[in-house]
């Protein structure tokens, strides 16, 4: 009977030991599995958000660069158009003013007596330079 009792307790001991080792092995591998899973998920989450951040940063920089150059382009276009509009409206005025000054000289008068003075003016230029300049 002692033999059976010892055998029983030995089997019981080794069975408990086996199941304890099995339990802790399973527990260890489960913890290891979930730890690896956790860090893998953490890695890919960080990787995803890092990529998302840099993608958003890239597109934000691209957006503001495009916006800057668009504003610059339209500003240049605006001021160029403004410049040419001013030229468009001032050149005809200047041209007509120059034509008025050049073609309608100060010596042309309605009065016929003054007309005579205009025609004799070249003869006095060399004698009285002041008359020739006015």
Distance separating alpha carbons of residues 134 and 127, to the nearest angstrom? 14
At 22-48, the pLDDT tens digits run 899 999 999 999 999 999 999 999 999
Distance separating alpha carbons of residues 78 and 71, to the nearest angstrom? 10
Mean pLDDT, residues 100-111: 54
| CB 107, CB 98: distance < 8 Å | no
For the chain, domain boundaries:
2-103, 107-134
- Which residues, at least 6 apart from 114, have a Cβ–Cβ distance to it below 8 Å? 107
Q: Hey, is 90 helix, strand or coil?
A: helix
Looking at residue 54, its pLDDT comes to 92
pTM of the model: 0.38
Looking at residue 9, its pLDDT comes to 80
The answer to whether residue 53 scores a pLDDT higher than 90 is yes
CA angle at residue 131 from 130 to 134, to 5 degrees?
Answer: 85
The answer to whether residue 65 scores a pLDDT higher than 90 is yes
């Amino acid at each position: 009977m002692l033999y059976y009792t010892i055998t029983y307790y030995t089997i019981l001991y080794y069975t408990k030991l086996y199941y304890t080792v099995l339990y802790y092995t399973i527990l260890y591998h489960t913890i290891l599995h979930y730890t690896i899973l956790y860090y893998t998920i953490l890695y890919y989450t960080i990787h995803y958000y890092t990529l998302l951040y840099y993608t958003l940063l890239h597109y934000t920089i691209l957006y503001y660069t495009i916006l800057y150059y668009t504003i610059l382009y339209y500003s240049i276009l605006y001021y160029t158009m403004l410049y040419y509009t001013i030229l468009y409206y001032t050149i005809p005025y200047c041209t007509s003013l120059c034509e008025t000054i050049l073609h309608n000289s100060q010596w042309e008068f309605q009065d016929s007596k003054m007309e005579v003075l205009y025609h004799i003016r070249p003869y006095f230029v060399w004698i009285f330079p002041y008359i020739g300049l006015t």
